[in-house]
Amino acid sequence: MIKILMIEDDLELAEILSEFLEQFEMSVKTCAEPFLGLSELEVNKYDLVILDLSLPGLDGLQVCKEIRKKHDVPIIISSARHDLNDKVNAFELGADDYLPKPYEPKELVVRIKSHLRRKNASFALSAPASKTTSTDAQKDIVCDDFAHQITFKGEPLNLTIAEYDILRYMLKKQGGAISREEFIWGCESINDTSTNKSIDVIIGRIRAKLGEDPKNPRYIHAIRGVGYKLEQ
């Protein structure tokens, strides 16, 4: 069974979603209080978190930030707040997806499966032990598809699913300009509700993990009016 933690104070909605998800072999634990949800993550292991933003006692954005400090579990924001700033802040704090309420439960199932497929890709592949070439090994940033891991100067990068997909896409098109729109349709974990600003936020997080100075980048370069390119 897929184990999902839902931090949601609308218990009626939580019950509806839980019953629907159970049809797809997904077991849901609901916490109406954000602090209980954070405590639950410390005690038990979950495959994915569904997080509301309007919560009692602690805003969901802060909850997202606290989760990401300690856990790399995929986070899907499920919220009636449609403000662009909330979406941007959610991605900036480490969320992997943003699903505005109301939505069809079937769409939630699709999003969950997509994120878990990316998260568990290394267990589904039947390719040889490594796709890393000797040429790749000489570069600072290297993607090993089989291990579902990107390393920087030999050390694994702790990336969210969206960060992994975008950096992997840039590595595949190394040296070429990539528009923000291309990231949205070219990366599986980036959904069509994402905006150009969302892409900028995710790339900003990647740059930070690479130790990049955005004003004088070594690897990820902004191309005015187009998007980004990666060089190494």
Rounded to whole angstroms, the Cα distance separating 114 from 47 reads 12
- Nearest in space to 165 (alpha carbons), one of 97, 87, 83: 97
With 0-12 CB in 10 A as exposed, 13-18 as middle and 19+ as buried, what is 147? middle
Residues of the chain whose pLDDT is less than 50?
Answer: 122-134
pLDDT digits (tens, 9 = 90+) for 89-132: 999 898 989 999 999 999 999 889 888 877 765 334 333 444 44
Predicted local distance difference test score (pLDDT) of residue 57: 93
pLDDT digits (tens, 9 = 90+) for 215-231: 899 999 999 888 999 99
Predicted local distance difference test score (pLDDT) of residue 137: 58
